[in-house]
Amino acid sequence: MTVAAQFEIEYLQYLGPDGKPVAELPQAFRDPATLLPLFKQMLYVRTFDTKSIALQRTGKLGTYAACLGHEATHVGIGASMRPEDVFAPSYREYGAQFMRGVRPREVLLYWGGDERGNDFQGPKNDYPWCVPISTQCLMASGAALSFKLRKQDRVAVACCGDGGSSKTDFYAALNSAGAYSLPLVLCVINNGWAISVPRAAQTGAQTLAQKGIAGGLHCLQVDGNDLVAVLEAMRRATLRARNGEGGSVIEFMTYRLHDHTTADDARRYRGEDEVKAAWTREPMLRLRQYLTDAKLWDEAQEKAWLEECGRLVDIEINAYLETKVQPVEAMFDYLYGDPPPDLLAQRAAAIALDKAALEKRNG
């Protein structure tokens, strides 16, 4: 038999679900102290997530996509990027975005029905949340192409889900990244479900990582609940990107512990057992154990930090709740850099109508 090509996909895991190392930790992350701030960040993210869900349940937020269970993957990705890199999220990677300077109030504004949530005060070039699945991956490929053409030492990182890895835009992203050898890292966050559709129904591929083979990319599958594995995978991929070795597809194996969004009811389509089992593998548990074993963390510290997180998140929530609705003209003011006359006339009419309505209401 003549062989035309051969491939092998590596799997990375360092911390087992019980917090014990299952392999020698990579050099860069061998000192547990480097992990501590990220663990704290994961706790902060979970606090934010919990409070956001509560906010939605009390009618103070629109539909919200929780990130429960994804904290290690999200925070690890964010931690692996440089400020000048560009991040292209889907819609639940708050952990990564906070690391890049997106403010929680911006997240809330977006899910609260206000476009200003996308006007990040921190990472000015990062992409906004992206509702059309996986289109962010291809835009990120375009961003990476622009870096390469301008010889900028920058990497584009995009996230999508297991469902998103079926989307043609995801394939277009990896195809183009391969064709142009781009500094692109495609992070496939496999949380087992795309709303109600299980991973197995998305594709006949054994791993989602292997999709990268289709474009000649570097492929890795990692335990996405293991922060160390996430960091190591991202380290390798961003290094390759910076060295001109091209793009990567990384599959992060994690689990969506919450409903798809607050508009969803996962009990319709998935069993309790599966969720229960997933809770034993969730990312906080093992990292807390590992840091506790390393004498870097204890219950008291956790309690204090969670209180601090609550306080910090509440500041953001209040800032969100206090943000006034945009004036009616906001729907006209960001459409064109050079707005056409007809639009300006509509704008004026809308303002007049709004004023009249207000006056009517006020008697």
Ligand X SMILES: Cc1ncc(C[n+]2csc(CCOP(=O)(O)OP(=O)(O)O)c2C)c(N)n1
Single residue of 260, 281, 286, 347 touching ligand X by CB under 6 A: 260
Residues 301-340 that bind another protein (CB under 8 A): 325-326, 328, 330-332, 334-338, 340
Q: Centre a 10 Å sphere on the Cβ of residue 183 and count the other Cβ atoms it contains.
A: 30
The C-alpha R_g of the chain, in whole angstroms, comes to 22
Q: Which of 74, 260, 286, 347 is catalytic?
A: 260
Query: Residue 116: CB partners within 8 Å, gap ≥ 6?
Result: 106, 109, 323, 326
The residues pairing with 267 across neighbouring beta strands, listed in sequence order, are: none
Q: Which of 162, 251, 264, 282 binds Mg ion (CB under 5 A)?
A: 162
Verify binding: residue 161, Mg ion, rule CB under 5 A.
yes
| Alpha helices (runs of H) in 63-116, residue ranges in sequence order | 71-79, 94-99, 104-111
Taking the least distance from each CB to ligand X, the nearer of 195 and 312 is 195
Contact between 290 and 35 (Cβ < 8 Å): yes
Q: Burial code of 351-360, b = ≥16 C-beta within 10 A, e = fewer? A: eeeeeeeeee
Q: What are the helix (H) ranges across 212-338?
A: 227-242, 272-279, 283-293, 299-322, 330-333
Q: Which of 60, 116, 235, 242 binds another protein (CB under 8 A)?
A: 116
For residue 319, give every residue at least 6 positions away whose Cβ sits within 8 Å of its Cβ, in sequence order, or none.
Answer: 105
Q: Is 224 in the site for ligand X (CB under 6 A)?
A: no
Q: Does 269 participate in catalysis according to the annotation?
A: yes
- The residue (of 123 and 163) whose beta carbon lies closer to ligand X is 163
**What span, in angstroms and rounded, lies between the C-alpha atoms of 351 and 354?**
5
Compare residues 92 and 236 and give the one whose CB is closer to ligand X.
92
3-state secondary structure (DSSP) of residue 189: strand
Q: Return the one option of ligand X, a second copy, Mg ion, none that residue 225 interacts with (CB less than 5 to 8 A, by type).
A: none
CB of 266 to Mg ion, least distance (A): 12
Q: How far is the CB of 48 from a second copy (least distance, A)?
A: 32
The partner in contact with residue 278, picked from a second copy, Mg ion, another protein, none with C-beta cut-offs of 5 to 8 angstroms by kind, is: none
Catalytic site residue 127?
A: no
Per partner kind, with CB cut-offs from 5 to 8 A, the member of a second copy, another protein, ligand X, none near residue 332 is: another protein
Say which of 57, 82, 267, 269 is annotated catalytic: 269
Q: Is 260 an active-site residue?
A: yes
The span from the CA of 16 to the CA of 233, in Å, is: 16
From a second copy, ligand X, Mg ion, none, which one binds at residue 10 (CB under 5 to 8 Å depending on kind)? a second copy
Collapse the DSSP code of 302 into the 3-class scheme (helix H, G, I; strand E, B; otherwise coil) and give the result: helix
Token pair in block for residue 189: 């966050």
Instruction: Examine residue 41 and tell whether it contacts ligand X (CB under 6 A).
Output: no
Interacting residues with ligand X (CB under 6 A)? 92, 131-133, 160-164, 191, 193-195, 256, 260
Q: Please give the positions annotated as active site.
A: 256, 260, 269
